[in-house]
């Protein structure tokens, strides 16, 4: 899957931008503030319906404009079809169209277009609260297995209803139906997540950090309940506590991924560069997992790769990404900052030049 064309209007510094990237590897260059990250942001908005930097639409809309629009032409590899995505944002509202038809939820886009963004916040994924790590696993499964979405919706509904009984002071038998549904959908999700984490760990073992952090370098998946006790049994055992709190405290909504190496938790011991390369290795393993199951190779949006990475790590990161990405969009101030990309692609896009030409 790749972007054939991106047209943005009134996004941050761009009055209008019309960008035709190459099918595989692309390098976007320009001075500080010229709009490199904003080009990636435009691509992310086309894939996810939202920016990877902010949920505040006001920040994204160009000063003085009433709203912004992002239009993208997407192409499947080989003989695959072509689709047009349009996202408009104005007055705090987002509207999305897929081939001219309105789309109710941005999750539909995220399901169709696999994208992985390596930006300045990438390494935070390992240390911030677990919801983004869970969301990453879930988004990956949404691409791979349509029935996962059904399990996930069933789980959310069962959790909402069970919490309602807990909040209203009901007895556990009043919630029996929803508890059963929670166990069934949660167990299905847990099994898929475990299989995915096993695949991720195989990928991490081949990453540059495996030699440093040992044979067990990889993620431990904590399901959100004690496996020895069992999900159904723990839900029963925690009913009184959950009733006092008014919500369900065990389940896949409490799951987490913990990075481990040499027998200990290491997420908070990594340097920024080590964290960044680990997240890149994680994304590459996810991309491989998606491609292996769907034949779709994700788009990688990679902002300022060389920041925080030494030349050797940078080269290895580029090699890993190139091996799995459908299309790679990299940014750097100058081509010489990212020679491993610059030497492999004729598609260098100089943002300041095009932005100036468009606005003149």
| Residue whose CB is less far from ligand ATP, 65 or 323 | 65
33 binds ligand ATP (CB under 6 A): yes
In angstroms, the CA 194 to CA 196 distance is 5
- Which of the listed partners (Mg ion, ligand ATP, none) does 12 bind, with a CB threshold of 5 to 8 Å by partner kind? ligand ATP
Regarding 37 and contact with ligand ATP (CB under 6 A), the answer is: yes
Decide: is 51 part of the binding site for ligand ATP (CB under 6 A): no
Question: With respect to ligand ATP, which residue has the nearer C-beta, 36 or 276?
Answer: 36
88 forms beta bridges with 69, 95
Q: Interacting stretch for ligand ATP, rule CB under 6 A, among 56-64, 108-116, 285-293, 317-325?
A: 56-64
| 162 makes contact with ligand ATP (CB under 6 A) | no
Q: What's the closest the beta carbon of residue 9 comes to ligand ATP, in angstroms?
A: 12
Give the nearer residue to ligand ATP in terms of CB position, either 16 or 112: 16
The reply to whether 12 sits near ligand ATP by the rule CB under 6 A is yes
Q: DSSP for 98-154?
A: ETTEEES-HHHHHHHS-EEEE-TTGGGGGTS-THHHHHHHHHHHHHH-HHHHHHHHH
Decide which of ligand ATP, Mg ion, none touches 34; Cβ closer than 5 to 8 Å per partner kind.
ligand ATP
CB atoms < 10 A from the CB of 248, how many?
A: 24
Residue 288 or 337: which CB sits closer to ligand ATP?
A: 337
**Contacts with ligand ATP in 301-340 (CB under 6 A)?**
333
Does 343 interact with ligand ATP (rule: CB under 6 A)?
no
User: What is the rounded (10 degree) CA torsion for 285, 287, 290, 295?
Assistant: -130
Number of chain positions touching ligand ATP (CB under 6 A): 15
42 scored as a contact of ligand ATP (CB under 6 A): no
Residue 263, helix vs strand vs coil: coil
Which part of the chain contacts Mg ion (CB under 5 A), choosing from 37-45, 97-105, 156-164, 345-353?
Answer: 37-45
Q: Does 186 bind ligand ATP (CB under 6 A)?
A: no
Decide whether 33 or 292 has the Cβ nearer to ligand ATP. Answer: 33
- 38 contacts ligand ATP (rule: CB under 6 A): yes
- Cβ proximity to Mg ion: between 261 and 328 the closer is 328
- 37 touches Mg ion (CB under 5 A): yes
Give which of ligand ATP, Mg ion, none residue 63 binds (C-beta under 5 to 8 Å, depending on kind). ligand ATP
| Cβ-proximal residues to 199 (8 Å cutoff; 6+ apart), any chain | 285, 288, 289, 292
**Contact between residue 309 and residue 216 where contact means Cβ atoms under 8 Å apart:** no
| Residue choice 8, 21, 25, 34 for contact with ligand ATP (CB under 6 A) | 34
CB 7 within 8 A of CB 68: no
The site partner of 356 among ligand ATP, Mg ion, none (C-beta below 5 to 8 Å per kind) is none
**Which strand (E) or helix (H) includes residue 6?**
strand 2-11
Relative to beta strand 2-11, strand 264-265 is unpaired
CB 266 within 8 A of CB 294: no
Provide Rg for the chain, Cα atoms. Answer: 22
Pick the closest to residue 11 from 332, 48, 50, 119 (CA basis).
Answer: 50
| Side-chain half-sphere exposure of 126, counting CA atoms within 13 A | 27
Residues engaged in binding ligand ATP (CB under 6 A) = 12-13, 30, 32-38, 59, 61-63, 333
Residues engaged in binding Mg ion (CB under 5 A) = 36-37
């Amino acid at each position: 899957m790749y972007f054939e064309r991106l047209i943005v209007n009134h996004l941050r510094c761009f009055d209008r931008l019309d960008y035709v990237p190459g099918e595989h590897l692309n390098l976007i260059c320009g001075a500080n503030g010229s709009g490199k990250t904003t080009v990636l942001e435009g691509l992310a908005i086309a894939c996810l319906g939202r920016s990877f930097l902010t949920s505040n639409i006001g920040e994204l809309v160009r000063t003085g404009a009433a709203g912004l629009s992002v239009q993208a032409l997407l192409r499947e590899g080989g003989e695959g079809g072509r689709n047009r995505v349009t996202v408009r944002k104005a007055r705090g509202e987002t509207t999305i169209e897929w081939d001219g038809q309105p789309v109710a939820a941005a999750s539909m886009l995220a399901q169709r277009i696999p994208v992985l963004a390596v930006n300045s916040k990438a390494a935070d994924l390992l240390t911030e609260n677990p919801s983004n790590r869970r969301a990453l696993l879930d988004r990956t499964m949404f691409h791979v297995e349509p029935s996962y979405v059904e399990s996930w919706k069933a789980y959310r509904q069962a959790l909402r209803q069970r919490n309602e009984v807990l909040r209203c002071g009901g007895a556990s038998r009043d919630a029996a139906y929803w508890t059963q549904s929670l166990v069934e959908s949660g167990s299905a999700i847990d099994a898929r997540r475990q299989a995915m984490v096993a695949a991720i760990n195989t990928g991490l073992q081949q990453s540059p950090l495996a030699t440093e952090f040992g044979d067990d370098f990889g993620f431990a998946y904590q399901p959100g309940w004690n496996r020895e006790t069992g999900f159904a049994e723990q839900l029963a055992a925690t009913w009184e506590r959950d009733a006092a709190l008014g919500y369900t405290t065990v389940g896949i909504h409490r799951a987490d991924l913990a990075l481990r190496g040499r027998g200990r938790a290491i997420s908070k011991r990594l340097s920024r560069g080590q964290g960044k390369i680990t997240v890149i290795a994680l994304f590459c393993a996810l991309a491989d997992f998606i491609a292996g199951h769907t034949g779709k190779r994700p788009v990688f949006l990679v902002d300022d790769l060389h920041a925080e990475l030494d030349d050797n790590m940078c080269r290895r990161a580029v090699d890993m990404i190139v091996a799995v990405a459908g299309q790679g969009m990299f940014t750097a101030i100058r081509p010489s900052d990212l020679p491993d990309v610059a030497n492999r692609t004729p598609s260098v896009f100089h943002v300041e030049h095009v932005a100036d030409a468009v606005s003149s």
